[in-house]
Every structure is written in structure tokens, then in C-alpha cells.
């Protein structure tokens, strides 16, 4: 089955593309690959399985557990827990494998399966390829006492919350926060962690019913959070996504503080503490030019990667960097987490506010964003966006016109059937004009 794994695991319409049979087969294949790599040698293998609040997560969880247990792997059920919580407990509980069932910020009908290696890190591409290659192979099934045991891990949320709070040292008393939980995986853990750290928290969109995850809320729909922050007179608001591995912020006046600005704030904080490894932050090519300029002014180097938190993580791991992230709100603080963690990000932004006595708006003002326009062009052959010569010529011409005062980025989405056209310029009018012109070229040249 070609291209089963995307940039963030296996994802698709639950019970359409992503069936119970597929989930079971993936889990069996994963167990076999890890066993052959020697990951299970000398002990009974252990996996932890968590999920977000989608109703489809229930049958997918049952299928994943059935596959793992039938392959002789013991399973701890973590229940509803953010992706970073599953990653943390994969390491903390000494599990050989972590499994998270979530489609992150996607709409409710979708779901996904993400495998984590020992320590809570994402699997290498080569291992994912090996899993895909061994789907539905003939195998010798364990019997009797060799099949896996399944246990509910009752304290998963509390253990994760305790870990989050342990990463902060400054009490957050006096700070009033609105937290949009996206009706998702952090609906319990998110408010609990912020309150345990001392903040006064108003949680919104924290009553998941299995159907409402990401529905007009969370990090992709900030309108209700912006209104709630202003109405409540809160100091700051934070929006998570469905699996809570990303976070965006809103200041007291309802203005959005994006992932680039968040990275600026945290990078400055870590540098001040002497804890920003290599005085370097890792970001993606989608980061605003204003981010790079702000980092240069602060004496901080920027390493750019392809879009996707996995590529940020790879660059961080390769050089031992301690901070990285994306404009979308994935922020990785490697001293505390192996993946993006929205609640962790919120806690450390609050701590920075408490330490400096500054508002989130004041802290974010260290970066001036250039107008940035993103156009998603659907219904085209995204696989040709890097090879079509006339299209590449149009991109080069637009880049030359903008010069050093702007830039153009064209890329195929890793998770959706579309091409993204991103343009930055000194004015929003110019950015829109260039982006719309290029989008027309994409539609013409890449038409199906």
C-alpha cells in the first residue's frame, strides 16, 4: 500500500480510509518490525495507547489494542490524553511503543494513527516504511500466556499534569487566562495544569461529546477565544488544537499572537537564562521574515527546515538544539518534551509574563510581522509543483520583483490534496496581488 504514512502518521476518513482492519494490521506489523529490531528482547513488550475525543477513536483504539495484544504486546490504555501526554508517558512508563489516535486539527470525521518509539519520539521513516511493507504478512501467533495483557492506566492525566507543572518555577498567581481546549484531548489536562501552576483559568470548548472536536473552536478558529478574552478581562488567551500539540495565543485586546511570535518570546527567555542551546532556534520555511529579523536583532541564529514538526524535531535532535517550532503553533521545548506541546507552551509563556511583569502583547512586540498571504489551491496535481518549468519561472519572477523586502514560497501539502502559495511583501495589497497571480498560474499549470 503506497504512501500509507504521511508527514504525521497515517491519517484519513475514519471508517472510510482508516478502517478497523487497517488499524489492526498496522499494529501487528509495528509489533513485528520492532521485535525484529530487537526492541522487545529480554522482556515482555509494553505499549501505551492514547486518543483524542473523536468517537471513531473508540473503535480504532479497540482495533489497535487487539492487534498489539494478539502479537504478544502488553498494553496500557491511557484514555483521552494529548499527543504530548502520550509521548511523555511512553518514556516515563518505559514503554517500547506509544500509539496516539488523533487527526490533530482536522475535522471530526477524520482520525489518525501515530506511532512513537521508546522514549516518546517519532518513528524514523525507515521504520514506517518497514511497517508498511509487512502489512498482512503470514505470522506465527502467540497463544496462552504469551498473548498481551490489557490494563487501564487510571492516573495518566494526573501524571502528565504533574510533569507539566514541574517544568515551571515561577508561580502564576494573579494571571487570568482563557483556555480554548478545542473540545479535544486537553479538555481535562489543560485547565488542570494551568490551575495547578497558579493561574486563574476560564476553560471554553472543554465539553467534548465525540462530535464537536475542532468545530468552530481551537487553534484554527480563534474568534470565540478572542471575544472571551476581551469579555472576561483576561490577561491572555490560549487556543489548543484537537490533540493539544499546538498552541496559539491572544492578547488582552483580542489580537492574535502566532507561533513565530511565541517562538520569539520563548527564545529570548531561554537565551536570557543561558539555556538556548547554541543560541539557535529551529523554524520552518513558512516562518515570517519578521521572525528572522527579530532573531537576528536578539543575537539568535535561525535554522530553517521543511514544513512539519517532524523536520523541526529532526534538526533539533541532530544538533542538540533546545527550541523549535512552526508558525502554526507547534512549539518543541526539548528540555521537557519530545514533541510539540500546547499546554507546555502556554505554561512557559505565562511564566515569562510573570517573571518580566510584561503583557503578552508587549513581549510579542519584539517581532514585527510582514504582511503574509497564504492561498490554498485545491483540485490540482500537487506532485508537479516542484517540477513544472513555467510555474517555477513564474515563482522566480515574483521573487525577483519582491527582492529582499519579501519572498515567495510554493509547496505541496503533506496531509491534504492541495498546493499552498505563500507570499510576504511590505504591504498586504502587494502580497495579495502576487499570491493571487501565482495561484492562477498553479491552477492553469497543475490542472488535473
Sole residue written with cell 499546554: 343
Which residue in the list 27, 104, 219, 328 is annotated as catalytic? 104
**DSSP H or E segment with residue 280:** strand 280-284
Sole residue written with cell 473540545: 183
Q: Which residues pair with 236 in a beta bridge?
A: 177, 251
- Half-sphere exposure (CA, 13 Å, Cβ side) for 144? 1
DSSP conformation class of 307: S
**DSSP H or E segment with residue 353:** helix 342-356
In sequence order, which residues have a C-beta less than 8 Å from that of residue 43 and are 6 or more positions away?
none
**Contact present, 373 and 286 (Cβ < 8 Å):** no
Of 165, 195, 148, the residue nearest 47 (C-alpha): 148
The Cα 105–Cα 219 span in angstroms is: 8
The Cα 192–Cα 381 span in angstroms is: 45
298 phi/psi in degrees, rounded to 5: -90, 0
The Cα 417–Cα 14 span in angstroms is: 17
Of 148, 50, 64, the residue nearest 102 (C-alpha): 50
**Contact present, 140 and 317 (Cβ < 8 Å):** no
- Which 3 state secondary structure label does DSSP give 373? strand
Task: Give whole-number Cα distances, 441 to 58, 383, 411, in Å.
Answer: 44, 15, 14
104 is catalytic: yes
Q: What angle do CA 21, 23, 25 make, to 5 degrees?
A: 70
Which residues are designated catalytic? 104
Amino acid at each position: 500500500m503506497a504512501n500509507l504514512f504521511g508527514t504525521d502518521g497515517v491519517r484519513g476518513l475514519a471508517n472510510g480510509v482508516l478502517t478497523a482492519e487497517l488499524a489492526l494490521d498496522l499494529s501487528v506489523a509495528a509489533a513485528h518490525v520492532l521485535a525484529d529490531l530487537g526492541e522487545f528482547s529480554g522482556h515482555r513488550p509494553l505499549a501505551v495507547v492514547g486518543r483524542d475525543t473523536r468517537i471513531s477513536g473508540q473503535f480504532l483504539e479497540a482495533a489497535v489494542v487487539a492487534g498489539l495484544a494478539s502479537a504478544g504486546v502488553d498494553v496500557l490504555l491511557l484514555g483521552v490524553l494529548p499527543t504530548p501526554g502520550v509521548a511523555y508517558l511512553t518514556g516515563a512508563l518505559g514503554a517500547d511503543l506509544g500509539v496516539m489516535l488523533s487527526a490533530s486539527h482536522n475535522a471530526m470525521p477524520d482520525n489518525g494513527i501515530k506511532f512513537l518509539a521508546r522514549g516518546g519520539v517519532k518513528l524514523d521513516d525507515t521504520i514506517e516504511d518497514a511497517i508498511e511493507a509487512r502489512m498482512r504478512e503470514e505470522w506465527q501467533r502467540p497463544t496462552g500466556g504469551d498473548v498481551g495483557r490489557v490494563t487501564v492506566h487510571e492516573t495518566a492525566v494526573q501524571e502528565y499534569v504533574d510533569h507539566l507543572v514541574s517544568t515551571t518555577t515561577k508561580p502564576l498567581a494573579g494571571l487570568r487566562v482563557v483556555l480554548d481546549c478545542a473540545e479535544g484531548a486537553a479538555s481535562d489536562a489543560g485547565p488542570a495544569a494551568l490551575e495547578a501552576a497558579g493561574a486563574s483559568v476560564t476553560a471554553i470548548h472543554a465539553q467534548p461529546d465525540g462530535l464537536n472536536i475542532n468545530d468552530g473552536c481551537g487553534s484554527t478558529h480563534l474568534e470565540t477565544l478572542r471575544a472571551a478574552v476581551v469579555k472576561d478581562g483576561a490577561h491572555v488567551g490560549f487556543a489548543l488544537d484537537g490533540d493539544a500539540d499546538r498552541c496559539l495565543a491572544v492578547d488582552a485586546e483580542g489580537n492574535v499572537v502566532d507561533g513565530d511570535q511565541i517562538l520569539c518570546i520563548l527564545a529570548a527567555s531561554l537565551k536570557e537564562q543561558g539555556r538556548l542551546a547554541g543560541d539557535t532556534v529551529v523554524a520552518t520555511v513558512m516562518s515570517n521574515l519578521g521572525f528572522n529579523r527579530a532573531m537576528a536583532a536578539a543575537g539568535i541564529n535561525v535554522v530553517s527546515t521543511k514544513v512539519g514538526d517532524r523536520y523541526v524535531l529532526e534538526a533539533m535532535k541532530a544538533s542538540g538544539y533546545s527550541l523549535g517550532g512552526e508558525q502554526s503553533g507547534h512549539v518543541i521545548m526539548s528540555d521537557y518534551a519530545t514533541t510539540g506541546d500546547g499546554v507546555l507552551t502556554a505554561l512557559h509563556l505565562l511564566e515569562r509574563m510573570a517573571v518580566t511583569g510584561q503583557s503578552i502583547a508587549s513581549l510579542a512586540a519584539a517581532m514585527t510581522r510582514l504582511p503574509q498571504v497564504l492561498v490554498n489551491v485545491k483540485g490540482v496535481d500537487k506532485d508537479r509543483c516542484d517540477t513544472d518549468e513555467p510555474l517555477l519561472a513564474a515563482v522566480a519572477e515574483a521573487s525577483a520583483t519582491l527582492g529582499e523586502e519579501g519572498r515567495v514560497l510554493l509547496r505541496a501539502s503533506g496531509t491534504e490534496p492541495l498546493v499552498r502559495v505563500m507570499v510576504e511583501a511590505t504591504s498586504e495589497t502587494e502580497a495579495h496581488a502576487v499570491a493571487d497571480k501565482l495561484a492562477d498560474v498553479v491552477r492553469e499549470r497543475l490542472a488535473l
